[in-house]
Chain A
């Protein structure tokens, strides 16, 4: 089972850029569905999906509409890690940030389904936006 670990600064100033990296160990980043995601959770609140990146095709990514334009994901398969960059942060971006693996698609009842859920998670890293 792969293990994930987020790393990056714990404190970021407003208007600056937040950068986090998720290191994948115990297996290849080309595992599961080859899709990897970032999810965040503000203190005392629920989970918010931020974006998804793929290991192939120059790391094609999709983003939550709420962060489109500020968020960029990248992947380095040679280093077995992927990264998040969030520009122009505000206090509203303070949260625990999780990286996770999208599980491979599954088959059931004669039909097969696209990758759609998360089977491995990092422990999360708390990021605070404050001056």
Chain B
């Protein structure tokens, strides 16, 4: 079974700076089935990216994604105050059909 690992667990960043979050899979996965979500306290997660690099509707272009195989990255180019949150990667496997989440990375204000 595929396991997703995210690093770092917590990232301390100043507003305006760049944040780079990592999601690593225990075995190679399709980038077409890798998504990223943002979750703020007390809220449901919000879809940011799908297919590793496609921004969801309404997501600002400061959010970008890349990667393939086992290593994927979410980059926030210039952190805005509303970007401080927890970020999860999620992978879909089709045989058998399963949805797996990473443990999350918390982006906090430095």
- Residues on A lying within 8 angstroms of B by beta carbon are 37, 46-49, 52, 62, 64, 98, 100, 103, 106, 108, 111, 113-114, 116-119, 121-124
- Closest Cβ of chain B: how far from A24's Cβ, in Å? 15
Write the chain B residue with the least CB distance to A49: B99
Question: Of B35, B47, B96, which contacts A62 at CB under 8 A?
Answer: B96
**CA gap between A39 and B40 in the complex, in Å:** 16
- Residues on B lying within 8 angstroms of A by beta carbon are 32-33, 35, 37, 43-47, 50-51, 54, 56, 88, 90, 92, 94, 96-104
CB-defined A-B contacts under 8 Å, sample of 21: A46-B88, A46-B101, A47-B37, A47-B90, A47-B101, A47-B104, A49-B101, A52-B97, A98-B45, A103-B47, A103-B50, A106-B51, A116-B33, A116-B92, A118-B35, A118-B45, A118-B47, A118-B90, A119-B56, A121-B45, A122-B44
Interface of B is mostly: strand
- Closest Cβ of chain B: how far from A101's Cβ, in Å? 10
**CA gap between A2 and B93 in the complex, in Å:** 25
Contacting pair B103 A106 (CB below 8 A)? no
**CA gap between A124 and B88 in the complex, in Å:** 17
Count chain B CB atoms within 10 A of each CB in A47, A62, A114, A121 and give the residue with the most: A47
Question: Of B43, B50, B102, which contacts A117 at CB under 8 A?
Answer: B50
Known interface pairs A52-B99, A103-B50, A119-B47. Does A46 touch B33 (Cβ–Cβ under 8 Å)?
no
